[in-house]
Amino acid sequence: MIRTFLISTTIISTVIFTSCNNKTDNNSEEQITIDNSPTADNEDSLGISVNGNDSMKQIASYPRNVILTGLNNHRLVSIYKLKQTKNTTHDLKILRSYDYEDDDNRSEYEHFMPGIDILYGFNLLNIAHYDLSKEKLNFFFEHPVLIKTLYYPSFNQDSINKKPINRDYYMISVYNEDTNHDSLINKKDLRHFFLFDQSNSTKTQIIPADYSVIRSQYDSQNDNMYIFARKDLNKNGQQDNEEPIHIFWFNLKTPGVAKQLY
């Protein structure tokens, strides 16, 4: 199936960086405690190993899905926080970003813009990248984080004005640091935005670290993404309503560090 997007000077698509509303779980649970104790003591236990970071221990987690990308040899695995109750373990309801269904958890496909699909995260701790040709696995982040949105090359072929459009990179909107120093990683921290190459060998911070991304807007005429972000002017590591909002632009054809527009 080919999806075709027609360029228009009057139509601009807007996408919010926040995840879809998920009322099945309490948002207060979507957090990582920096001094978490290990969940288990053996290699077979669920958890994400932390490379050289003793301040963050293992968190009970599980691989949810293999995500099919538009890069033939590159597949992604979504890794979620395991929610445990007294008697059982509940599978979190997530918004899946490709056309796939199973009996216990149905969710919806989401397409963002030409050449890019998205996965909205709720207690999404990490993304694993696997290269089928090299049989090599690596992770986007070295320790558990809270990923809000994963942007990845569309599995289905896209086109703009009947010309094929293909992306060969990933982007992630994420809470990856305890920026306000309250011993938690959660929505009170600054939300950062990163670019990864197709093999996950290089990582670039698209928006400066002292900003927190709010939303984005797509410019179909120039194939640009406009990113709205609030500057942490008082250096307290969190968003405050009185702080200024700046706009950056990011070229999707030649991705790199975003440039400030306003």
For the chain, the domain total comes to 1
Q: 135-150 b/e with 16+ CB inside 10 Å = b? A: eeeebbbbbbbbbbbb
Residue 109 has pLDDT above 80, yes or no: no
CA dihedral sign, ordered 89, 92, 98, 103: positive
- Angle among Cα 171, 175, 181 to the nearest 5 degrees reads 150
**Domain span at 56:** 3-260
By DSSP bridging, strand 158-160 and strand 3-5 are parallel
Which residues, at least 6 apart from 221, have a Cβ–Cβ distance to it below 8 Å?
Answer: 7, 8, 9
- Kindly state the average pLDDT of the residues 244-255: 96
Say how far apart CA 100 and CA 126 lie, in whole Å: 20
What pLDDT band is residue 35 in, cutting at 50, 70 and 90? Answer: low
Which residues, at least 6 apart from 254, have a Cβ–Cβ distance to it below 8 Å?
Answer: none
What pLDDT band is residue 60 in, cutting at 50, 70 and 90? Answer: confident
> Percent of the chain beyond pLDDT 70?
69
Say how far apart CA 144 and CA 109 lie, in whole Å: 25
At 169-225, the pLDDT tens digits run: 999 999 999 999 999 999 999 999 999 999 999 999 999 999 999 999 999 899 999
The pTM of the full predicted model, rounded to 2 decimals, is 0.77
Chain centroid offset of residue 153 CA: 13
Residue 126, φ and ψ in degrees, nearest 5: -170, 165
